[in-house]
Every structure is written in C-alpha cells, then in structure tokens.
Amino acid sequence: MPHKIFIVILLSFWLISDAVAEDDLKTGYWLYTNLSVGTDKMNPDQSMTYIHSLGYIQGILDGIRTMEMVRFEMMFPRKLLTPEEIKKLSKYFNYKQINIPDSGINVGQLQLIYLKGSKNHPEDLHNSARVCLYAAIVDAFGWKSP
C-alpha cells in the first residue's frame, strides 16, 4: 500500500509540474541568461523574468528536498515511531542522496551554484533548465547512492 501512495505522489508532482510550469521546456542556457543579468542593468521585463527564474530554482530545490523526506517517511512511517526513534533512524539511514547542508541554502546561494555549474559545463546547457540545475546542485554538494 505505501508504494502505491508513493507512486501517486510522484505522478501528481510530475503532472502538476508539467501542467503549471511551461518553462520546464526552457533550456539551461535560457535559465543561465536570466540568472546572470546584473540587477543594476535590468529593464522591467528582465526583472520579472529574473524574479521568476529565482522562484523556479527555489521550487526545484524544494521539490528535491520534499521527495527525499517523502521517501524517508515511506520507509519509516511517523505514526509507528516515537520522535526519538525517528531522529535515531534519520542519522543511521541518511535519507538525503544530495548532501545539501541541514542548515539549508538560500536562493542567492543556489543562483551562484547554478551560474558556476553553467560556466563549468556550458556544453550541457542545451538540456532542460531542470536537468542543468539538478546537475549543478549535485556538482556542488555531491551525490550519495541510496
């Protein structure tokens, strides 16, 4: 039963993200150009696109963290465990595949991570913005196999 719920959640995120975010079809280069414009040189149209791009990258990060937490909660349901047991298990079974610091990162830092990743791998910017951002986050924080 928990696996069916997990699949429904995944499908829901996928359907909603594709239906709502038309910009998912944008490339990594599109996101790079939007995030690299200096704020002092922006016209009003550029500033709205810049703000939208900041929201986009924050949304992707929030989605990554949410899915990591959902996966952990599917493995260890909260209603069956005490808070102490959950804390112990979360340290023993690190549910994070991307080693993002527990203190989190802010959107400005995420922008810098993306810009650095884009400069280091310009050959990949033809991929979707979502894929390029994910790759930049993995490059910055590392990946841990489940």
Instruction: Give the pLDDT of residue 32.
Output: 94
For the chain, which residues make up each domain, given as ranges? 2-141
Q: What is the pLDDT of residues 81-98, one digit of tens each?
A: 888 887 777 666 656 677
- For residue 120, pLDDT over 60 is answered with yes
Instruction: Give the pLDDT of residue 47.
Output: 78
Distance CA 20, CA 37 (A): 25
Counting Cα atoms < 13 Å in the Cβ hemisphere of 141 gives: 20
CB 27 within 8 A of CB 126: yes
Q: Which residue has the higher pLDDT, 7 or 61?
A: 61
Distance CA 96, CA 64 (A): 9
Q: Which residue has the tokens 């690299």?
A: 36
Distance CA 122, CA 103 (A): 30
Give the model's confidence band at 20: pLDDT under 50 very low, under 70 low, under 90 confident, else very high.
very low
Instruction: Give the pLDDT of residue 16.
Output: 47
Q: Which of 15-24, 38-47, 89-98 has the lowest mean pLDDT?
A: 15-24
DSSP letters of 122-133?
GGGTTSBHHHHH
- Closest listed residue to residue 23, CA positions, set 57, 46, 65, 63: 57
Give the length of the chain.
146
pTM beyond cutoff 0.75: no
3-state secondary structure of 143: strand
- For residue 27, pLDDT over 50 is answered with yes
CB-based burial of residue 4 (10 Å sphere; 0-12 exposed, 13-18 middle, 19+ buried)? exposed
Q: What is the pLDDT of residues 63-80, one digit of tens each?
A: 888 887 887 788 778 788
